[in-house]
Structure 1
Amino acid sequence: MKRAYNFNAGPSALPLEVLLKAQEELVNFQDTGMSVMELSHRSKDYEAVHNEAQSLLKQLLQIPDNYEVLFIQGGASLQFSMIPMNFLAEGQIGNYVLTGAWSEKAIKEAKILGRATSIAASAKETNYDRIPKLSELNVAPEDGYLHITSNNTIFGTQWKEFPTVKDNMLIADMSSDILSKPLPINNFAMIYAGAQKNLGPSGITVVIIRKDLLERSHDQVPSVLRYDTFSKNNSLYNTPPTFAIYMLRNVLQWVTDQGGVEAIAKLNEDKAALIYNAIDESNGFYKGHAQNDSRSLMNITFNLSSDELSKKFLQEAKDAGFVGLNGHRSVGGCRASTYNAVPFEACEALRNFMIKFQKANA
């Protein structure tokens, strides 16, 4: 079976084992005579999948009992609006750390809603090449929450340690690095993540939320935009994206089979090291965008000395079977997204290609 070296930033690689399992069960899921996509979301067969996905995530991330796992549609982008809608009471401020395009979009949505906002810190002046130090963060008692983006896909930066804030009202968009390493869940009021990078296909957003926050939803917020609506109905208030949740469950089973999040984290470090070493040992032929202490293990961004050379690199990489290495227009150059499902062998192949290309073009 021919498989591309898939370094797409999202939707991104899925484990081959998960795809083959879905293929096997596609037209007849567990002898129901139907695809999981055809099952009623109220049926026992589907509900078992739904509940297992929640249970597996709780086990893998060691989520305490005072948190709930919700499945919501609309991507992480909808959360940009739902968070201030539900959690900013009158007189409170939504405080945001700006580390890239997605945190910019998050604060923009809060402003559109007319909510008070502030910027705790920003790395925009240096084109988001770093994560602000904890000592740089400006927080205040009137903050309703502090919002961060844990990993920045476009710029290739990642938080290495998390801030501590009043009442642990830290909210994190972890769309691009959730499940890539163990997490101190108790440090957070809420974590949310679009599935299409480490959790499964696009179409489902996972929300890990502390239960006391569910009581803060305002009566003026429409039902389908309230977190307590999803909590009270086990995320089955309306028809969920059943196939996406089925695939999420399969990915979580796969992570469990790999040895859990700890084993995945070690593999991610090893994968990223291959490519970062190729950059660092290139004598400047490849130049990383992110500062070393902010480097992401999920999205590795780098440039070559000229646009012409970058185009040549990308074309030859494409010809060699590599997919998704184009950098975002905000940074240019190249980006390798090494999410959980990207095999070590793919990263090793990219490292070897980079060394070969450098020797031929230095």
Structure 2
Amino acid sequence: MNEEEAIYALRTMFYIRRMENKAAELYRLRLINGFLHLYAGQEAIAVGTKMSISEQDSVISAYRCHGFAVVFGVPARNVFAELMGRKTGAARGKGGSMHMYANQFYGGEGIVGGQVPIGAGLGFAQKYKGTGGVAWTFYGDGAASQGQVHEAYNMSKLWNLPVVYICENNKYAMGTSVDRHSANTNLYTRADLIPGVRVNGMRVMDVREAMKFARDYALRNGPILLEMVTYRYYGHSMSDPGISYRSREEVKTTQTERDPIELLSKLLVENGVKTEAEILELRENTYKVVDEEMEQAKADSYPEMSEIATNVYVKPLEKIRGKAPWEIY
């Protein structure tokens, strides 16, 4: 990883972390309603993924999707706007926390494991059209035992589709630890004939290299499974304080010893790429940008009631090609 890539990774993780922490504040102020699933702690996975894939690839994820929206070009302003139900949101204020979309990014899925068969379908499309692309399909440890996930494994292997399945194992499915809901906690081994690799999901360089390997493998041999071992700092959603099933000490230890931002910052300092002062300046400048975008989103308007039944059907492709999701009206 060269200096430019390292700074991109660090700045983007700072950006996502600040955005998610500010979203938590907006929720407590009741400016965000409904569900809110935050990505703080897992930033290295979304960032490492973006650093590894090609333009023809497709990505679909579970409902903890804000970080993916950012790396695929959705500014924090449009994420905040979506969370607050404003018309400048990534889904025009009608989707909320679980429904962010961008070019290449087919969004979050509100049904546990529901996106995995869709990911297999995206892989089928890649192979059928001969695009040379890969379908990246993300899901959580809680979805790993869903029947539809294993059906998708089977079909993708049967047809040798270019699909990379990525399990973001943040250790807790809602409030249930992995060893309480899974007889086999080695989630990377769960796909029978599909090979699996366990990856340190807290180190952005490990994620990036694993993704590069997996992409090459999927194009040559068909599906592969990656288990990204990570951790979420907030509860399952903002309605979950996250302290009834794990200790504050566990969370604090992870934040101190395994935080993806701290690990990369330390690496850059140790190798003489950046000083601690330069990293602090980068963080403060990035935080300022996010804070300004949050204020812009708070001033944005709500959708008109006449919009409530729109966007049920897709507009003709020529009317939306080249536009960002929040620009499609």
TM-score normalised to the size of structure 2?
0.31
Structure richer in helix, relative to its length: 2
Highest CA radius of gyration, 1 or 2?
Answer: 1
